[in-house]
Amino acid sequence: MADSTPSAPTAGPKHADRPVYVIGGGPGGLSVAHALRARGVRAVVLERSGAVGASWRGHYDRLRLHTTRRLSALPGLPMPRRFGRWVARDNVVRYLEKYAEHHELEIVTGVEVSRVEPAPDGTGWLLRATGGRELTGSAVVVATGFNHTPRVPDWPGREGYRGELTHAGRYRNAQPYAGRDVLVVGVGNTGAEIAVDLVEGGAARVRLAVRTTPHIVRRSTFGWAAQYSSVLVRRLPVRLVDRLARTMCRISVPDLTAQGLPRPDTGLYSRVRQGAVPVLDVGLVDAVRTGSVEVVAAVDGFEDGKVRLADGTLLQPDAVIAATGYARGLENLVGHLDVLDGRGRPVAHGARTASGAPGLHFTGFTNPISGMLRELARDAEKIAKAVVRDQRRAARRRTAS
């Protein structure tokens, strides 16, 4: 791995000298860099933190992959069997470090790209980065991650809350909350897992504020990982998958309506297509069924230093943990290039590029039912092939002229 500042290739006719810049040193960026390097293309990874896998290092302590070890490996290096079936956070970090070392990837840490623009000569891209750097690349792959910027709703009256309010991205373990009354807001995978962790870690009371009832799926049923089913059905018609999932969930997950979590009235795969993945159960079902985690209405705001719920209830927990998701954080970087939709997500990803932005690729900005790491690995190969194809076409045009 390199940690020196990359030099900006001189603008001119020798465009082949320009590297492909990969923004982000997480699994998406590393897998793309390897796929490019394997095809003889120089790829330089720019990572704003001091090490690869920065977002994984910041996740809560108990985190384990919900996808299997075998289907979570990146191209060119399997995950060690000693990591077990469900790989722990620290082992994911170790794997990413080994991946960069094993493939001898060119990585520059401590460099944050603030803006991507078309190169002045009309070929390739200009990156503006920390320290006044201006880097010119033949192509750019944005892999800054799905969980980039913590998002906390602008709840009315929030400034008057007298307890502790923090985003789930800052949660590490239950130790600081032992013996305390805690409200977790949001029932995605993160919120569900934090609520269970708080119970097991000795919190006096744990409530979970839910706006939209999630689909809950067993991570594994009789040894069959939910991911296997997700891979098998991802290309089937949405309505068919909805029906299959409804039947499976009724068999494997008990009805929690009496505890405040009724079965959703919309299909599982229909929700996924809208960007909402199911909750993989790692203890939430039992915690809700036994009352260890109490389900309450969504948070509407704060009033007189208390939390106001959508049903009018006022709560006064010692702490509120907002598991309310993340923003992609792409607006300043590429928002001026007409490559984002109304929700700030790339309009094209993987091998495809937006019209008017050839050579600008995005990876890791979807939340696929078949597993993020698996799809990042597949995307990497597709992006590398597209970059090589485009470079060959450009070379032929230069030769012809």
Q: List the domain boundaries for the chain.
A: 15-148+328-400, 150-322
At CB < 8 A and 24+ separation, what contacts does 329-335 make?
329/144, 329/148, 329/149, 330/142, 330/144, 330/148, 330/365, 332/114, 332/115, 333/23, 333/113, 333/114, 333/115, 333/116, 333/142, 333/144, 334/116, 334/142, 334/360
pLDDT at residue 149 in the model:
81
One fold for 15-148+328-400 and 150-322: yes
Which of the listed CATH numbers 3.30.2320.20, 1.20.1250.30, 3.40.50.150, 3.50.50.60 matches domain 15-148+328-400?
A: 3.50.50.60
Round to whole Å and give the CA distance between 151 and 169: 9
Kindly report the backbone phi and psi dihedral angles of residue 258, in degrees, each rounded to the nearest multiple of 5, phi listed first. -65, -25
Fold observed for domain 150-322: FAD/NAD(P)-binding domain (3.50.50)
> Could you list the pLDDT tens digit for every one of the 401 residues in the chain?
544 445 443 333 445 579 999 999 999 999 999 999 999 999 999 999 999 999 999 899 999 999 999 999 999 999 999 999 999 999 999 999 999 999 999 999 999 999 999 999 888 999 999 989 999 999 999 999 877 788 899 999 998 898 999 999 999 999 999 999 999 999 999 999 999 999 999 999 999 999 999 999 999 988 999 999 999 988 899 999 999 999 999 999 999 999 999 999 999 999 988 878 899 999 999 999 999 999 999 999 999 989 999 999 999 999 999 999 888 889 999 999 999 999 889 999 999 999 999 999 999 998 888 899 999 999 999 999 999 999 988 888 778 76
Query: What predicted TM-score, i.e. pTM, was given to this entire model?
Result: 0.90
- Among residues 298, 322, 321, which one has the least CA distance to residue 311? 298
pLDDT at residue 306 in the model:
95
Q: At 196, which amino acid appears? A: V
Asked whether 22 and 31 are in contact (CB, 8 A), the reply is no
Round to whole Å and give the CA distance between 276 and 260: 20
- The per-residue pLDDT for range 173-206, each reduced to its tens digit, is 999 999 999 999 999 999 999 999 999 999 999 9
Round to whole Å and give the CA distance between 88 and 175: 19
b/e 208-236 (16+ beta carbons within 10 angstroms → b)? bbbeebbbbbbbbeeeebbbebbbebeee
